[in-house]
Structure 1
Amino acid sequence: MAGVFEVFVDAESQYRFRLVAPNGTVLAISAPFEDKRAAAAGIADVRECAGTGLITDLSPAAPKVQEASTAVPAPVPAQALSTRPDHGRQGFGKRRTPAEASGTRSAAHWRPSAPAAPVRWTGAA
């Protein structure tokens, strides 16, 4: 479940909204607005910007951490691709023609077919 925006009136009779997490924790409280319409516009702005907003780190730099050990881990033995059990499932090793690699077909592979049904974009990936 996603968070919830709650619109409320503060002690100074100004409209505000707060973003509440599914567990009830208040994540953010807005600045005051004159009316509900302005608060709703503020919620729309937050929804639009929240997913694409950049992070500016204004906190002091963390102290550097000392390495606990300087031991070098043992090397992992090399394994040939052909001996890997999942090698065949991933499609490695199959030689493809340049047309197959680019995703296009040559004229020799082209065959007319029935027109495809129109595809409607739903916005879902």
Structure 2
Amino acid sequence: MAGMFELFAEADASFRFRLTAPDGTVMALSKSFPDKRAALAGIAAVREYAGMGFITEIPAPQQAPAPAPARAQAPAQAQAQAPKRSRLSSAARTFGGRAARRKRQVLVRWRQSLRPRVVTNFPAW
């Protein structure tokens, strides 16, 4: 089951949204938006970019480094001391075009759900 976006108004007439897991856990809380339209655009942006984002590990800050030696370091040692960033390939690269096609399908269905619907044929009861 997928998470749910909850859009709500704050006391100062601004809008925010939160992403909740199926069990009700709040997974993300947005910044404050001036109006409802801007908040909906923020939800659309989160939907668009969340599945395609890279994962970057940010190492914890190290304690005071030891003073550098007077001689120049070899290039291999300099690379070993650089902070490591792990970048995982996106779903679109991993699964080919399937993820990109699925994302387009979801966006089309979401846009269609925002359109007002007019029912012209009422069933005769």
What range describes the TM-score normalised by the shorter chain of this pair? 0.3 to 0.5
TM-score under structure 2 length normalisation: 0.46
Bigger Rg, structure 1 or 2: 1
* Structure 1 length-normalised TM: 0.46
* Greater RCO (Cα-Cα under 8 Å, separation 6 or more): 2
The structure with more helix, counted as a fraction of residues: 2
